[in-house]
Amino acid sequence: QLQLVESGGGLVQPGGSLRLSCTDSGSNFEMYDIGWFRQAPGKEREGISCINNNGGRISDYVESLKGRFTISRDKATNSLYLQMNDLTSEDTAVYYCAAAPWDVCGDWSARDINYWGKGTQVTVSS
């Protein structure tokens, strides 16, 4: 079983950057499709981006984040990352690492996710 743990969240000023990390303390997730979701207060959980098991396919789902958020994975260290640049108050949310044993990057819907991390809070404020 996977045990996903996020880190790297916190308070950052507008225009700043953060790098989120996700690691698996259970089994290795190298054969899973993995990625990120976020949920702002009062809003539904939305898919941000996913990357497939061979690391060669990346799918982004939020138009306003393209060019600012970049996903990557490192199978050697069993780690997933989300580099976030030019942050604004609209990016304030809890960010979740997620994984599925099937090819789900074509949709990246919460209904398809088998494993979730507990989330890390990102707050963008001056």
What confidence tens digit (pLDDT) does each residue in 25-59 have? 877 788 899 999 999 999 999 999 999 887 777 88
Q: What is the mean pLDDT of residues 63-86?
A: 91
Question: Nearest CA to 106 among 40, 46, 61, 54?
Answer: 61
In angstroms, the CA 126 to CA 43 distance is 23
The 3-state DSSP class for residue 111 equals: helix
Q: What is the mean pLDDT of residues 76-86?
A: 93
Joined together, the tokens standing for residue 94 give: 């809890």
pLDDT above 80: residue 115: yes
In angstroms, the CA 58 to CA 6 distance is 20
**Residue 32 phi, psi dihedral angles, 5° rounding:** -105, 150
Q: What is the reported pLDDT for 62?
A: 86
Joined together, the tokens standing for residue 105 give: 């990057």
- Alpha-carbon distance values, 27 to 1, 3, 46, 115 (Å): 6, 7, 26, 12
**Residue 34 phi, psi dihedral angles, 5° rounding:** -135, 160
